[in-house]
Chains A and B, each alone.
Chain A
Amino acid sequence: MDCSDVMIHGYADGELDVAGVLTVEEHLRRCERCAREYDAIRAVQHACSADLLYHKLPPGLDRKVRAAVQRQLGRSAPRWTILNPRLAAAAVLLVAATLTGVIVLENRSSPDVLVAREIVSDHVRAMMLPEHHFDVASSDHHTVKPWFNGKVDFVPDVPDVSAAGFKLEGGRLEYIDGRPVAALMYSYRLHMIDLFTWPAPGVSDTSPSMSQRQGYWLAHWTHAGMTYWAITDAGQQTLHEFIQASTNTR
């Protein structure tokens, strides 16, 4: 390979296929200039990952957005609002919430981004060394589940998703969002999926919302008072199948 900036950036961004990765790695071993470029890219990536650079949602903006949307819906479909009692009821609740300043609906915006970053860091750190993968190694959920007893103040749900091809590898204790949480590691072919869970009392159920960070796919949802985060390098489709399988076991 000739010196190619774009290839080095693609490599640093995890955008190359296996052949591309091997070509670049081979080149980086020989070419001092490109190795220097690669180090500089990593330094810039690291500098940009500082939490302080992420502009957090100003307080009240989510409320303003909801209010603007309600005004718009009121303008464009006044008759429909009257004809649809459920929408009318929801609107009344929302207006009441806005007036009293109580946000009934969960605000999942900026705190979630921070948690997502923690999840990615935890997962990456765990993947760096095999001995970090788990504190308890077992494919038996009857072994993994009781292991958390006395380590966290809740009973984690350890879904058995082996039928869908996801093998339980073990569990470990993590510290996320200022509290101890349970992390369960599943394997799928050559990929790993980490499932983090902790209690979210009073938070209503949400369907999984997916996002991508640093090439990993993440999903976040809430079910029965527990919050769940799943992360994998296996891609969006696999993650989707994993979530489907784990919710089906309930």
Chain B
Amino acid sequence: MTNETQLARFERLVMPHVGSAYNLARWLTGSTHDAEDVVQEASLRALAAMENFRGGDPRAWLLTIVRNTCFTWMRRDQTRAAEPLDEQAHDMDSPALTPDAALLQAADTQMVRQAIESLPMEYREVLVLRELEGFSYKEIAAAAKLPVGTVMSRLARARHRLQQALADKVVEEA
């Protein structure tokens, strides 16, 4: 390990997961251009943080850096700065009656994409990490620096909102 150059270590730890890094950044920033910039900035942060990486899953480690970079990026861009998420306020979002699964299955990819994009960033984050990157609750909690309980409730709310948004879209199209 000591003989491994920084470049070789970067190739081994970071490069295999650049695809995942881009997917997450693209979902969080909502723009191809921003996602490319975030991935490059996050890669440099990863390069600087590499010596502190002590085993574990390099992909989870890199995606943690990517999401932090995204949040910094969005904060820097004042025009797009999102309002802080009020978890309690969103309690009201839970639909009284869950939409029928058959209705949800009628949604096409475009509807699903738009519905995910319409979610607040904090909900989009847990949803993308779980459904697209296959993260466990524990990994999401570590990446987003949240208690596992908050991850669970946030994911449940994110899915409720997505269900509602999808059901609305399907009904709209019909």
Interface size on B, residues (CB 8 A): 58
Report B95-117 residues with CB < 8 Å from chain A CB. Answer: 98-101, 104-105, 107, 109, 112-113, 116
Chain B contacts of A50 at CB under 8 A?
109, 112
Contact between B43 and A69 (Cβ–Cβ < 8 Å)?
A: yes
Nearest-neighbor residue (CB-CB) of B104 within chain A: A43
15 A-B residue contacts at CB 8 Å?
A: A6-B153, A9-B156, A10-B137, A10-B152, A33-B98, A40-B99, A40-B104, A41-B159, A45-B131, A52-B113, A61-B22, A65-B18, A66-B15, A68-B40, A72-B44
B162 at the interface (CB under 8 A from A): yes
B71 at the interface (CB under 8 A from A): no
- Give the most central of A52, A211, A215: most B CB within 10 Å: A211
Report A223-237 residues with CB < 8 Å from chain B CB. Answer: 236
Chain B contacts of A6 at CB under 8 A?
152-153, 156
- CB-contact partner of A113 in B19, B26, B47, B127, under 8 A: B19
Nearest Cβ distance between residue A47 and chain B, in whole angstroms? 5
Alpha-carbon separation in the docked complex, A210 to B55 (Å): 12
Contact between B12 and A53 (Cβ–Cβ < 8 Å)?
A: no
> Which residues of chain B have a CB within 8 Å of any CB of chain A?
5-8, 10-12, 14-20, 22-23, 26-27, 32, 35-36, 39-40, 43-44, 47, 57-59, 94, 98-101, 104-105, 107, 109, 112-113, 116, 127, 130-132, 134-137, 139, 152-153, 155-156, 159, 162-163, 166
Contact between B104 and A91 (Cβ–Cβ < 8 Å)?
A: no
Contact between B39 and A61 (Cβ–Cβ < 8 Å)?
A: yes
Nearest Cβ distance between residue B96 and chain A, in whole angstroms? 11
- Give the most central of A33, A43, A64, A109: most B CB within 10 Å: A43
Contact between B112 and A84 (Cβ–Cβ < 8 Å)?
A: no
Report A148-198 residues with CB < 8 Å from chain B CB. Answer: none
A132 at the interface (CB under 8 A from B): no
A39 at the interface (CB under 8 A from B): yes
Q: Chain B interface secondary structure, helix, strand, loop or mixed?
A: helix
Alpha-carbon separation in the docked complex, A236 to B107 (Å): 35
Chain A contacts of B20 at CB under 8 A?
109, 113
Given A10-B152, A13-B130, A53-B132, CB of A61 within 8 Å of CB of B57 = no
- CB-contact partner of A15 in B40, B100, B136, under 8 A: B136
Alpha-carbon separation in the docked complex, A212 to B59 (Å): 10
A70 at the interface (CB under 8 A from B): yes
- Give the most central of A36, A58, A109: most B CB within 10 Å: A109
A250 at the interface (CB under 8 A from B): no
A213 at the interface (CB under 8 A from B): yes
Across chains A and B, the number of contacting residue pairs, with CB separation under 8 Å, is 161
A110 at the interface (CB under 8 A from B): yes
Contact between A58 and B32 (Cβ–Cβ < 8 Å)?
A: yes
- CB-contact partner of B43 in A42, A65, A111, A236, under 8 A: A65
Nearest-neighbor residue (CB-CB) of A109 within chain B: B19
Supply 10 further A-B pairs (C-beta < 8 A) apart from A6-B153, A69-B43, A109-B22. A9-B159, A10-B137, A44-B159, A48-B116, A52-B113, A57-B18, A65-B18, A108-B15, A212-B57, A212-B136
Report A26-52 residues with CB < 8 Å from chain B CB. Answer: 33, 36-37, 39-50, 52
Contact between B47 and A54 (Cβ–Cβ < 8 Å)?
A: no
Chain A contacts of B26 at CB under 8 A?
55
Nearest Cβ distance between residue A106 and chain B, in whole angstroms? 9
Given A9-B155, A94-B7, CB of A48 within 8 Å of CB of B131 = yes
Alpha-carbon separation in the docked complex, A39 to B102 (Å): 9
